[in-house]
Structure 1
């Protein structure tokens, strides 16, 4: 999955696979997480958010099953 660089205090890049409903988040510290079952709307809201890390921690981080890659 290809990730897009984002302007954020803690996030480095974000990618989304619509077919699988997978969201990848790369943090500035190099950690990468794959979240499963994420609706495209969540991905789009994350990208359009002015506070991306806050959005991530509030609506994604503890809300979906994930694997650390």
Structure 2
């Protein structure tokens, strides 16, 4: 999945697979997680948030099923 770099103290890059509703986030720790059944609006809001990290913690973390990829 292609990811887009973001300017964040926690997140390094974000990708989204619209067909499968999978959000993939690479953290600055080099770990990568995939979040499942994420609506495209959540991805859009994350990318447009003034703080990507705060948006992630408030709206994605512990809300969507996930797996660590790396």
The TM-score range, normalised by the shorter chain, is over 0.9
Alignment partners' CA distance in 2, 1:29 and 1:9:
10
RMSD (Å), alpha carbons: 0.4
Runs of 4+ residues over 2 Å off in structure 1: none
1:14 matched residue in structure 2 = 14
Structure 1: gaps of 5 or more residues? none
TM-score computed with the length of structure 2 as normaliser: 0.97
Alignment partners' CA distance in 2, 1:6 and 1:48:
10
Alignment partners' CA distance in 2, 1:48 and 1:18:
17
2:5 matched residue in structure 1 = 5
Alignment partners' CA distance in 1, 2:61 and 2:31:
13
TM-score computed with the length of structure 1 as normaliser: 0.98
Structure 2: gaps of 5 or more residues? none
